[in-house]
Structure 1
Amino acid sequence: MVCPIRRGQSRHRTRSGQATTCGTHLWPGVRLLRSLLILLVLSGIWVGCGADREPGDLFGSIEEDVLVLDGTLIVDQPLPFIYVRRTADPGQVYDEASYGVTDARVELTAGDTQWSYEADPASPGRYRPPTPTPMVEPSKAYRLEVRIDGEVAGGVTTTPGRMNLRRTVLLDEKTLEVVDVLVPFSAGADSSFASPTNRLIYREGVLEMQLAEPVAGAIAYQLSLTGLDRDSDFVIDANFLEEEDYEEFDREGASPPLEVDEGLARVPWFAVAFEGRHILRLFAIDENWFDFIRTNLSDDDGGGFGGLAGDAFERPIFRLDGAIGLFGSAAADSVGIVVLPRPDGD
């Protein structure tokens, strides 16, 4: 079982301004719940993150021309790109080419090893790791340092241990007995999507990811779902939703931070809005990632759903020196599923 978790909060007040990147969208069903709540109480408690966000929707009220760092390390994956940009004037349309920083010195250090990143001419503000690219190691501290004309910014993340996802299963919703065992992504993406056990009828059964053991050093967990078939139809149908409400649904989303009880993470069907192929991921996240998503604001002026209703964070917790953004890490595993509409269309 999983449940949202919370920790102590801190508040920040700064002058009005806008930032430049978007966090992870929340489950599509969060929007559905919000629409229903609007009908009932005329204000949404839970809110999501739209795909077409204005600059600054992610970071709340901040100053113009603030340095933004973005990099997430995934255990047993290659070192990632690091993004270095600046916040924009709230009255201007954000242009990545204009606000990407191209003259930074970007270095990543782990123990006695240091890697120098190079600016990517194909994408202003993006910095590439060296080649051959080293893999991210488990349970290790990584330090990011960015220098720009006398400015120094950066942060530290300690990666969680390796994730051992024992299996992903479909349970009978009444007896909770295992009906099917899904083929994981580790067996190959084609095998995962092609397996009959991975073809799931919408709202039929309970989808559960089972860990062999807790991930060492993980502060919390997060589930994400990414739809790959961009033209697939909706499987969700609610009579209280208007036509324009459907335009707000995203093909990728993620949960708030979760506490995985007894190593079992169940995926709610309200996370699914579309037919077709999806990648379901389970992340075991570090403290930086956890604080960022639990305090993340939405594109509405209500409370965020990164933590719990009532937390009322005015801006996320960044855990960076001299910049805002996210430098965090996680261990992860994934499975491919194909969502099929219900035969009765219900």
Structure 2
Amino acid sequence: MMRLSIPVLSFLLVVGLVGCDTTATEPETEIVVEAYLQGGAPMDTIRLARSVDADEAYTPAEAAVRGATVEVRRLADDGTAAETIPFDETRAGLYTPVPSPLPTVQPLTTYELSAVTSNGTEVRATTTVPDTISIVETQNRNVVYQGPTQPTFTITSPRSNRNQQSVLVLTATSLLDFSRPEEQLREQLTPFYAEDYDPEEDSIVTFRTTSSGPLNEANFNRDEAGRITTELPWISIAFYGPNASTVHVIDSNLFDLFRSQQAQPTGGQGGSLGPGEIPNVIEHVEGGTGVFGSYVRDSTQIFVQRPNNR
């Protein structure tokens, strides 16, 4: 299990690759890419930075890669560019799509990222966006934590242009009012996270969205129509009360990132890692490191009650 650390799977994600020394055997500075495309949503921003050694302080402004030429190409079936989307730097190291309105990320489509720095270093990466999904049935919306029934979701069958299994990530995001005092929010933590939470080191907001980690087809069932049914693991729920539960289907790039993060030794139960603490991330960026990944998602609301004995 992991606490979500990729900003996009809001979900996903808080895994900040930026500033991580992701190649322990190659200590030289690298360009680090951080970009996530959501199928059916507007094209999102791209962040570029330079990696730092594990013993160096990471300062976002100093690590930012400025003045790069950045574009994303939507590829046709034959691999040629069907559309080229330019990006402008809007903040240090943060690049935003130029077109207005923003182009919509198309499912079952391959996108290629190209970024060329001011000194001529080029990084490239591709991602194939999964097919869109819908939650067509939710069972056990109102449950007692660790009771006999778990929230269960059935989603439409995602198509694929490639012969590969679907990989899901389930997240739960607390809908409590996080403007309330931290002491009040702490009382709503489920036991695992209440034990993990250290007010001197943690912000309780970091527990708001938590994740199942990647689930492959061994973790869910398919019916005759190909629809997928899966349960939300209790470990994915950090807070009692109302939660938004989201089902994501992720691409192979995000899957490799998640599973390599899970394989790393961690200092605590949450599995969160700081800069320099992910020594061997599996990534697919040519000329640099990081992640250029994609996903689709759909959400529904559940309510988690406190057991009577707690």
TM-score > 0.5, shorter chain as reference:
yes
Aligned partner of 1:167 among 129, 133, 137: 137
Change (3 A) 1:142 1:210: same
SS at match of 2:62: helix
Work out the CA distance in 2 between the residues paired with 1:224 and 1:156. Answer: 25
Work out the CA distance in 2 between the residues paired with 1:99 and 1:50. Answer: 18
Aligned partner of 1:236 among 166, 182, 190: 190
Instruction: Give 1:320's aligned residue.
Output: 285
- Matched letter for residue 288 of structure 2: A
- Matched letter for residue 146 of structure 1: A
Work out the CA distance in 2 between the residues paired with 1:322 and 1:51. Answer: 21
- Matched letter for residue 325 of structure 1: G
- In percent, how many aligned pairs have the same letter? 23
Pairing 1:144–2:106 present:
no
Change (3 A) 1:251 1:243: closer
Pairing 1:208–2:155 present:
no
Deviation string 1:255-284 (CA, Å, 9 cap, x unpaired) is 232123211110112222223443221111
Work out the CA distance in 2 between the residues paired with 1:329 and 1:281. Answer: 15
Instruction: Give 2:275's aligned residue.
Output: none
- Unaligned 5+ segments in structure 2 are 8-12, 76-81, 223-227, 273-277
SS at match of 1:92: coil
Instruction: Give 1:281's aligned residue.
Output: 246
Work out the CA distance in 1 between the residues paired with 2:120 and 2:16. Answer: 34
SS at match of 1:257: strand
TM-score of the superposed pair, with normalisation by structure 2: 0.73
How far is the alpha carbon of 1:326 from its aligned partner? 0.7
Pairing 1:93–2:93 present:
no
How far is the alpha carbon of 1:294 from its aligned partner? 1.2
Pairing 1:221–2:186 present:
no
Change (3 A) 1:228 1:101: farther
Work out the CA distance in 1 between the residues paired with 2:112 and 2:96. Answer: 16
SS at match of 1:288: helix
Native 8 Å contact 1:24 1:254 kept in 2: no
Change (3 A) 1:278 1:65: farther
Instruction: Give 2:79's aligned residue.
Output: none
Work out the CA distance in 2 between the residues paired with 1:333 and 1:91. Answer: 40
- Matched letter for residue 210 of structure 2: G
SS at match of 1:225: strand
Work out the CA distance in 1 between the residues paired with 2:174 and 2:189. Answer: 12
Deviation string 1:149-205 (CA, Å, 9 cap, x unpaired) is 2111011111111213212221xxxxxxxxxxxxxxxxxxxxxxxxxxx55443343
Instruction: Give 1:36's aligned residue.
Output: none
Native 8 Å contact 1:221 1:282 kept in 2: yes
Native 8 Å contact 1:69 1:325 kept in 2: yes
Please report the RMSD computed on the Cα atoms of aligned residues, expressed in angstroms.
3.5
Native 8 Å contact 1:235 1:341 kept in 2: no
Instruction: Give 1:115's aligned residue.
Output: 85
Work out the CA distance in 2 between the residues paired with 1:200 and 1:103. Answer: 51
Instruction: Give 1:295's aligned residue.
Output: 260
- Matched letter for residue 161 of structure 1: D
Deviation string 1:233-258 (CA, Å, 9 cap, x unpaired) is 334236x9588599668322222321
How far is the alpha carbon of 1:82 from its aligned partner? 0.5
Work out the CA distance in 1 between the residues paired with 2:73 and 2:142. Answer: 43
- Unaligned 5+ segments in structure 1 are 5-21, 26-48, 171-197, 307-312
Change (3 A) 1:267 1:253: same
Instruction: Give 2:126's aligned residue.
Output: 156
Change (3 A) 1:305 1:241: closer
Native 8 Å contact 2:221 2:230 kept in 1: yes
Native 8 Å contact 2:108 2:131 kept in 1: yes
